[in-house]
Amino acid sequence: MTKRKNPADLKKRGNTTDLSAGRLKFLQTRLPQYVEASKKNKSKSERRKSGTNVFWPTLFHDYWQEFPWKLPIGEDPEPRDKDAVEEVPADAEAAFEALGLNLSPEEEDKKAAVMQETSAKIKRWFSRQRPSAMGIHANPYFEHLARLRRHQDEAPPKRLADFQFYMRHRDYKDAVEEKFSRLADSVDKAHRLALRCRIAKEMLESEPQDVQEMIKTKCDDAHAEDMATYEESGEGLPSFSTEGQEEARENFTAIVTPLLAGLREYTGYDINLFAGRVKDDGSFDITSVNAGTKVGGGDWAAWDPEEYKTVSKALISQQLGQARNLRFLLIQCH
């Protein structure tokens, strides 16, 4: 199985870039907008309507206006002379050339490749800058907290084949499913997945060229976003997404327990730590971690589940009127 790269290597790589000074300055001005957009990435469905899916098109439109695709990524364009009179194209051919609309097929392919590679690089850059913009790395416990998300043995996400993306796309999946349903009974169950894939591949190949290119671009963008999330997780960075926070919650007890045990060793305190949130359906998600509070060999929750439940609800019930995604932490020391 492919091993995740060492987080130290990821971090080191994230601090280097071949972007020119002008490009970095341009991206830095958009960093606050990216951080705000990232906060709206609660789920993939919400991301389509808001969040970074709205941020990226505007960013790249402005970026390519400022930095022509033919210019190497490490170079900046010549400063514009504010007093210079813009030259009027002599004819239609000159106008098309000025707008970059008269490219040969080979140049079109090169342009697409440059824009794809650059877009992925810029997305990764933004992903790595967000923690610094939020002050995450300044937290003295960052390296320990990073373990809430960091994994060593997770393989990087693979890019879907274009036809796989096509068969999942909301505009085309129903048509693929309809044709598959008509032909499914003609093959045994073991070969139905292959049939579905073949149908999607043939249907995509029959689509107009602009549709095929659109699917390829969207598939590339989705993979670039998945890779940015993967690398963010590899560095142990916090996530605004529902999936990322759920992952961190699953690791909560394992990461926090040694910390509380250490605090008990230093202070002599018995510690009960409660963590809770209000879920989207209005119910409570409550957990606790104990250090030193043992009765009959078990912690509080195991010793008296009903009392534990009563106290837990009492501690969090006062927060009922607050925002649905409430997060609070109470440490009771005695």
DSSP string, 277-316: EE-TTS-EEEEEEEES--BTTB-HHHH-HHHHHHHHHHHH
Indicate if the pLDDT at residue 260 is higher than 80.
yes
Token digits for 13? 């790589």
Residue pLDDT, tens place only, 81-101: 665 555 554 444 544 454 556
**Do 225 and 178 have their domain in common?**
yes
In a domain, 53, yes or no: yes
**Do 176 and 219 have their domain in common?**
yes
**Do 118 and 188 have their domain in common?**
no
**Do 192 and 273 have their domain in common?**
no
DSSP-derived secondary structure letter, 99: T
Q: What is the mean pLDDT of the chain?
A: 76
The predicted structure's pLDDT at residue 302: 73
Would you tell me how many other CB atoms lie within 10 Å of the CB of residue 212?
Answer: 16
In a domain, 1, yes or no: no
The predicted structure's pLDDT at residue 29: 93
**Do 119 and 174 have their domain in common?**
no
Give the pLDDT band (50/70/90) at residue 196.
very high
In a domain, 34, yes or no: yes
Percent of the chain with pLDDT over 70: 67
**Do 120 and 35 have their domain in common?**
yes
Return the H-helix or E-strand segment holding 220: helix 209-234
- Alpha carbons 63 and 205: distance in angstroms, whole number: 32
Q: Residue 203 belongs to what domain range? A: 151-234
Indicate if the pLDDT at residue 3 is higher than 90.
no
The predicted structure's pLDDT at residue 43: 54
Beta-sheet strand order (sheet of 327-333): 284-291, 271-278, 327-333
Q: Which of 54-58, 234-238, 242-246 has the highest mean pLDDT?
A: 54-58
Instruction: Say if residues 278 and 330 touch (Cβ distance below 8 Å).
Output: no
**Do 114 and 208 have their domain in common?**
no
Burial 143-177 (b: 16+ CB within 10 A, else e): eebbebbbeeeeeeeeeeebbbbbbebeebeeebe
Instruction: Say if residues 142 and 172 touch (Cβ distance below 8 Å).
Output: no
Residue pLDDT, tens place only, 295-321: 666 666 677 778 777 777 776 665 544
Q: Which amino acid is at 268?
A: G
**Do 14 and 127 have their domain in common?**
yes
In a domain, 144, yes or no: no
In a domain, 295, yes or no: yes
Tell me which residue of 113, 121, 120, 114 sits closest to 18, measured CA to CA: 121
In a domain, 210, yes or no: yes
User: 177, 200, 234: which is the final residue of a domain?
Assistant: 234
What are phi and psi for residue 323, nearest 5 degrees? -60, 150
**Do 14 and 109 have their domain in common?**
yes
Number of domains in the chain: 3
**Do 30 and 129 have their domain in common?**
yes
Instruction: Say if residues 130 and 237 touch (Cβ distance below 8 Å).
Output: yes
In a domain, 140, yes or no: no
The predicted structure's pLDDT at residue 224: 79
Residue pLDDT, tens place only, 121-138: 898 888 777 666 566 666
| C-alpha 99, offset from chain centre | 34
Question: Could you tell me which residue, 127 or 47, shows the higher pLDDT?
Answer: 127
User: 135, 166, 198: which is the final residue of a domain?
Assistant: 135
- Alpha carbons 51 and 62: distance in angstroms, whole number: 18
In a domain, 328, yes or no: yes
CA end-to-end span of the chain, whole Å? Answer: 48
**Do 204 and 284 have their domain in common?**
no
The pTM for the full model equals: 0.45
**Do 167 and 283 have their domain in common?**
no
